[in-house]
Structure 1
Amino acid sequence: MTRHLNSLDFMQACSNKLDHALRNLSLAQYPPDAIRTMRTFASSEVASLLDVTEAYIRQLSLKGRGPDPEVSNNGRRLYTVEQILELRMLLADNGRKKWINPRRIEGESCQVIAVTNFKGGSSKTSTTIHLAHYLALRGYRVLAIDLDPQASLTALHGALADFDPREGDTFYSAIRFDDPVPTRSLIHKTHIEGLDVICAGLELTEFETAVALEMRKSGGTEFLLRAAQAIEQVEQDYDVILMDSAPSLNFLTLSSLTAATGVLIPVPAHMLDVDSTAKFLELAGSYMQILSNMGTTAEWDFAKFLITKFEANDHPQANMMALMRQVFGTDLLLNTVIKSTAVADALTWKQSLYEVQRSRFSAPKTYDRAMESINGVNAEIEQLLTHAWGRE
């Protein structure tokens, strides 16, 4: 029997057509000569970020202290991210509030957080990008590392200057066994002050083959230290490093778990997702047992589960969340990320919710609910960081 569809021709033709269409769409959003910028923030938002009153922000502006905000036609004061950071440092110098400058001090180690789960669609990338933007806006120095060959986190930053995944510009270049490059050479500045990124591409899949060949030669577990060794080169420059893992428990994910000081596991409150997470934990546990037998362990400051895409009015989801709270107890974050069209719309525009103006949404209350949910989760994670540093 002769079949008429050649698999190679089909895959290559569809890949080329889809790649061409997506490139055109990306160019329409971010032309080569475009400079992506972060939106400005109203004084009320600035006050919330700095944990002071809006009246105090207004007084500073009227007294000519701190940066000069843009004043809109209706008299609103609008601040850039850079100006917010300048205000933060001004308040820190005045000693108005402890930890107004949240950056780590001597004796506090960089927090390296792996966001992981081998179930696709669990909101790993959304969790990572919103946490990265939140922490940057709060004044932390943040590095986001994309460990997923699908490169969703990378795509959310639009067209980064001088980045080409086909030219060895991904994290794989820093962790490969032959002639690795300095990690610092792979870091890209983003349009958000305080946030840098290391991008991903399909070449990250080569790490799996490279590890298999290396293990055949030496039989050791040195590959587990590759991510940690690469991160160690730059961790003095950051307060928090976030790793967005691929939806699989592969060698690269294991290496990231060994490098991590904390772990976040996003899980939608659906039976199939929770069941998949159970298998993920079982498999990860078996790997960790093997590593322990070989004398290698991964020790963390914290490991937490996070319920994502939650719909409170959905009774099966509510029941599943109750089950998870019963099983995981304090290992499950108290706050949840609600399912929201606002988040979906923002990601479609290759932006986080923090980047989009509230006025852009046809239903602003939907934006408010989503933002309240995400802020609640991120604030709880921030408390985990400060607790790990031993702060009051």
Structure 2
Amino acid sequence: MTRHLSSLQFMNTFSTKLEKALNNLQLAQYPPDAVRTMRKFTSTEVAALLGVTEAYIRQVSLKGQGPEPETTTNGKRLYSLDQVLELRMHLAEKGRKKWINPRRVDGEECQVIAITNFKGGSSKTSTTIHLGHWLALRGYRVLAVDMDPQASLTSLHGALPGFDYREGDSLYSAIRYDNPIPTDRVVHKTHIAGFDVICAGLELTEFETAVALEMRKTGGTGFLLRVSQSLEQVTDNYDVVLLDCAPSLNFLTLSSLTAATAVLIPVPAHMLDVDSTGKFLELAASYMQILDAAGSGAHWDFAKFLITKFEGNDHPQANMQALMRQVFGDDLLLNAVAKSTAVADALTWKQSLYEVQRSRFSAPKTYDRAIESINAANAEIEGLITAAWGREQ
């Protein structure tokens, strides 16, 4: 029997067609001459971000101190994110509120957080982008690193000026064995002040082959240090580095876990997802045992599970949440991230919820519920970061 369908022709045909269609869609969203900008924030939002009252923000503005906000026809004051950061630093100089400038000080190590789980669809990228944007809005200097060849985190940032993974503009260029380049050359500024990215591309898959060849030559576990050595070149510029890992426990993920000072494991409260997470932990434990024996074991400030895509009125999910609480105890974050069409819509627009105006949603209350759950989870994670620095809560 002769099979008529060529695998090569099928893959080539549809990879080309899909790439063209997605490129056209991206050009429609972000034309080559377009400059992507972050939305502006009301004085109410600014007060919440800074942890002060809106009246105090208004008083500072009326005194002519700090940045001059835009005033709308109805009297609303709007601040750009750069102005929010400027205002934060202005208030920090007065020293009235401790940690209003939250950036780390001498003696506090840059926190490198690996967001990982080898179950696809567990919201690793959504968790990374929303946590990263939250921390940037709070005044931290954040670097997000796309560790996944599928490059979802990279795609969410639209057309970054000058980025082309086919030209080696990805993390792989900084961690490869042959002629690695300085890490700062693959760091991209984004339209969000305080939030930078290192992008990914298909060439990241070459790391697996390169490690296998290197291990055949030299043996040992030196590959585990490739990511950490690369990040050490730039961590002085950041307070937090987020590693958005691929949905697999490969050499790159193991290298990420070794580089990490903390780990976050997103898990939807579904039987298949929890079961898959159990297998991930079992496999990871077997690898870690080997690494410990070789003297290359990883040690973290914290490792936590985060329930994602949660529907509290779904009884099977509520039961699974109770089981997870029983099993994981304090290592399960108290706050779960709710499943929401608002999040799905925002990601379709290649934005986080923090980038989208509330008025853009047809059902603003859906946005309110989503942002409330995301804020709560992010605030809890921020607390873990500052606790690792030894700050008073």
Letter in 2 for 1:146: D
Letter in 2 for 1:26: Q
Measured in 2, the distance between the counterparts of 1:237 and 1:65 equals 28
Tell me whether 1:218 sits opposite 2:218 in the alignment: yes
Letter in 1 for 2:379: A
Cα deviation for residue 63 of structure 1 reads 1.1
Measured in 1, the distance between the counterparts of 2:360 and 2:153 equals 23
TM-score by length of 2: 0.99
Letter in 2 for 1:267: V
Measured in 2, the distance between the counterparts of 1:106 and 1:14 equals 52
Tell me whether 1:335 sits opposite 2:335 in the alignment: yes
Tell me whether 1:238 sits opposite 2:238 in the alignment: yes
Measured in 1, the distance between the counterparts of 2:181 and 2:356 equals 36
Deviations 1:263-298 (A, max 9, x none): 000000000000000000000000000001111110
- 2:137 alignment counterpart: 137
Matching of residues 51-130 of structure 1 within 5 Å:
51-130=51-130
Report sequence identity in percent: 78
Letter in 1 for 2:93: D
Tell me whether 1:43 sits opposite 2:43 in the alignment: yes
- 1:269 alignment counterpart: 269
Measured in 1, the distance between the counterparts of 2:104 and 2:290 equals 34
Cα deviation for residue 145 of structure 1 reads 0.3
- 1:304 alignment counterpart: 304
Deviations 1:50-105 (A, max 9, x none): 00000100111111111111111111100000000011001100011000000000
Measured in 2, the distance between the counterparts of 1:64 and 1:15 equals 56
Measured in 1, the distance between the counterparts of 2:196 and 2:104 equals 17
Measured in 2, the distance between the counterparts of 1:56 and 1:368 equals 25
TM-score by length of 1: 1.00
Letter in 1 for 2:220: G
Measured in 2, the distance between the counterparts of 1:81 and 1:384 equals 25
- 1:372 alignment counterpart: 372
Measured in 2, the distance between the counterparts of 1:239 and 1:222 equals 26
Measured in 2, the distance between the counterparts of 1:47 and 1:105 equals 24
Measured in 1, the distance between the counterparts of 2:193 and 2:335 equals 27
Tell me whether 1:258 sits opposite 2:287 in the alignment: no
- 2:178 alignment counterpart: 178
Measured in 2, the distance between the counterparts of 1:76 and 1:143 equals 32
Deviations 1:142-186 (A, max 9, x none): 000000000000000010001001010110011111111000110
Matching of residues 159-198 of structure 1 within 5 Å:
159-198=159-198
Measured in 1, the distance between the counterparts of 2:76 and 2:15 equals 48
Deviations 1:195-230 (A, max 9, x none): 110000000000000000000001110000000000
Matching of residues 137-156 of structure 1 within 5 Å:
137-156=137-156
Letter in 2 for 1:239: D
Once superposed, which parts of structure 1, at least 4 consecutive aligned residues long, lie more than 2 Å away? none
- 2:18 alignment counterpart: 18
Give the secondary structure class of the aligned counterpart of 1:266: strand
Letter in 2 for 1:242: L
Measured in 1, the distance between the counterparts of 2:6 and 2:391 equals 62
- 1:33 alignment counterpart: 33
Letter in 2 for 1:273: D
Deviations 1:239-275 (A, max 9, x none): 0000000000000000000000000000000000000
